[in-house]
Amino acid sequence: MKEMYPKKGRVILHVDMNSFYASVEMAYDPSLKGKALAIAGNPEERRGVVVTCSYEARKFGVKTTMPVWEAKKLCPNLIVKRPNFERYRTASKGMFEILQQYSELVEPVSIDEGYVDITDSYELGSPLEIAEQIQKQLMRELDLPCSIGIAPNRFLAKTASDMKKPLGITVLRKRDVPKFLWPLKVIEMHGVGRKTAEKLNNIGIMTIGDLAKANEIQLKALLGINGLRLKERANGIDNRPVDPEAAAEFKSIGNSTTLPRDISNQHELLVILEHLAEKVYLRMKRKKVFAAIIGVTIRYKDRHTITRSKKLPYNISSKEEIFTESKDLFLKNWNGDSIRLLGVTASDLVEKKQAVKQLDLFSYEKDAAKEPLMETLEQLRRKYGETIIEPAADLAQPPQNEHNSVSETSFSKDFLDFFKKE
């Protein structure tokens, strides 16, 4: 089989689970199979948004982030279930354990997708045979469908896995790029969002082929170093390795400050706590992450230090939410003695696009009240562009001289705890 593999270069798979949350629920309860199923923050009508849905539901026009009431209007027989994240983490763990049977080079990138470098796995079969084995094993042992992309690099493997869903296997070689990718609109390229696509469209770059042939100086002026990276991707070039160690980066965002004097006045302490929460919020915003755990650190004048944290029912990202949760923790755990240091930490971080907010009645009512405004803003953005109106908070400049940051951030993926090194 070794001759089926390149003498130079790599063979990389991108394994992407199909409608993961819905598929897990169907595996757990086979009576749901073949039915229109949506996973949403709250099963009651209007109290949440669709996190994911089955392909049967998608046929009716149901989409991710759609309000439940709208989804039910499109699909009256829609079954709506509340997310069971523990169940999904367990399934994810099983998925990655299966992938590790085929290669030591497995890099999870989210709860339901990952890269596998099978360059040295030729004894197990050809690349296509290995992909078929993985797909069949995931179905046999976990009853979970997936699509797999086979390519010489990460970008092409990711692109290939999106080409055929569900239960697809697609081979995409570098020589295929001009035929299959270049005719597509640039917004369809993995790694290009709406804002970037609009910027590229404004300078005449409409297709992936246009991007592949674009002037590098012009791209760098428009998008910085990322412009050059995107041009490489458009030409099928991606030298990033599959890195199993990437899953071991379990960090957090935190800020702490040593007070100018020992303070026991509650009002003063809460003002400081709010300032720390704002710093954490600004850094989270720049990193585009949400947090599911908030923690506070209290060091008393005798240097006795306590750290307390709270697992939240849904991911948060706003300054108000961070302050509210840290304030609640602080008031519950402060003994009233003078304090010399305070800290706020956000952890269990997920990328913004992965975050799921499970709305309770209170937060739902706040969100629902904003619906007319948000609809108007969306109409303006569609007509005049994404940046026509920005929330004032998003225009805030990062605070200067953050002397007391206790930790930098990466994406904490708690569903991948088993990848941590002992």
The verdict on residue 376 lying in a domain is yes
Least confident window among 225-229, 278-282, 378-382:
378-382
The verdict on residue 105 lying in a domain is no
The verdict on residue 265 lying in a domain is yes
Least confident window among 32-46, 150-164, 261-275, 291-305:
32-46
My answer on whether 210 and 267 are in the same domain is no
Mean pLDDT of 206-210: 97
What CATH number corresponds to the domain at position 190? 1.10.150.20
How far, rounded to the nearest angstrom, does the alpha carbon of residue 347 sit from its chain's CA centroid? 14
Q: Which domain holds residue 187?
A: 182-234
My answer on whether 60 and 187 are in the same domain is no
DSSP one-letter code for 362: H
Please state, in angstroms and rounded to a whole number, the distance separating the CA atoms of residues 381 and 373. Answer: 12
Q: Which of 64, 85, 106 is the last residue of a domain?
A: 85
pLDDT(392) > 90: no
My answer on whether 209 and 330 are in the same domain is no
Q: Looking at the 3D structure of the chain, how many domains does it have? A: 3
The verdict on residue 106 lying in a domain is no
Report pLDDT digits (tens) over 356-389.
444 443 444 444 444 455 455 555 545 555 445 5
The verdict on residue 415 lying in a domain is yes
Residue found under tokens 């982030």 = 65
Query: Quick one: which of 280, 247, 209 has its CA closest to 92?
Result: 247
My answer on whether 327 and 289 are in the same domain is yes
If you count them, how many residues does the chain have?
422
My answer on whether 222 and 262 are in the same domain is no
H or E segment and range at residue 260: strand 253-263
My answer on whether 285 and 260 are in the same domain is yes
The verdict on residue 6 lying in a domain is no
My answer on whether 285 and 355 are in the same domain is yes
Q: 176 labelled as ligand-binding?
A: no
For residue 83, the model assigns a pLDDT of 87
The verdict on residue 127 lying in a domain is no
How much is the pTM?
Answer: 0.66
pLDDT(313) > 90: no
My answer on whether 193 and 290 are in the same domain is no
Q: For helices 225-234 and 216-223, what crossing angle results, to 10°?
A: 130
* Catalytically active residues, by annotation: 113
My answer on whether 253 and 230 are in the same domain is no
Q: 367 labelled as ligand-binding?
A: no
Amino acid at 15: V
pLDDT(283) > 80: yes
Identify the burial level of 90 via C-beta atoms within 10 angstroms of its C-beta, where 0-12 means exposed, 13-18 middle and 19 or more buried. Answer: middle
What CATH number corresponds to the domain at position 384? 3.30.1490.100
The verdict on residue 323 lying in a domain is yes
